Amino acid sequence: MKKERRNTLIQSFRYAFEGIWTGIRKERNMKIHCLAVIFVTLAGTLFQITASEWCICLLLFALVASLELVNTAVEAAVDLVTEEKKPLAKLAKDTAAGAVLFSAIVSVIIGCIIFLPYLLELAEKL
């Protein structure tokens, strides 16, 4: 019985990682978020940001990527239920997309708060 449970747990992790990978492969916006993660990681490494700043960046990476995956799931579920244009389907899709956009905008603002002092310091040195 325990072996069945372990396989179920392992399988659930496989499904989750498959979902993440599918989101990255198939969703344009997820690719854009991944590029942002790469650029912010490079900038953070270059400017040697603090541990607290890294934690904030990591939380924002997770927030935006997670919401993008949820948005993808909402869109797929709505499309599975109906191909017709329905007000509630539009509401579900638009609000899920809005959640991603809102978190991305706030992430950019926080990124500016974190990185602007480093950029200004670099500009003064040049």
Domain annotation for the chain: domains and CATH numbers: 2-125 (1.10.287.3610)
**Residues with catalytic roles:** 68
Which parts of the chain register pLDDT below 50? 1
The 10s digit of each residue's pLDDT in 95-105 is 999 999 999 99
Map the chain to HEC letters: CHHHHHHHHHHHHHHHHHHHHHHHHHCHHHHHHHHHHHHHHHHHHHHCCCHHHHHHHHHHHHHHHHHHHHHHHHHHHHHHHCCCCCHHHHHHHHHHHHHHHHHHHHHHHHHHHHHHHHHHHHHHHC
Q: Are 44 and 9 in contact (CB under 8 A)?
A: no
Q: From CA 80, how far away is CA 103, in angstroms rounded?
A: 26
pLDDT of residue 2: 57
What is the pLDDT at residue 4? 60
Per-residue pLDDT at 107: 98
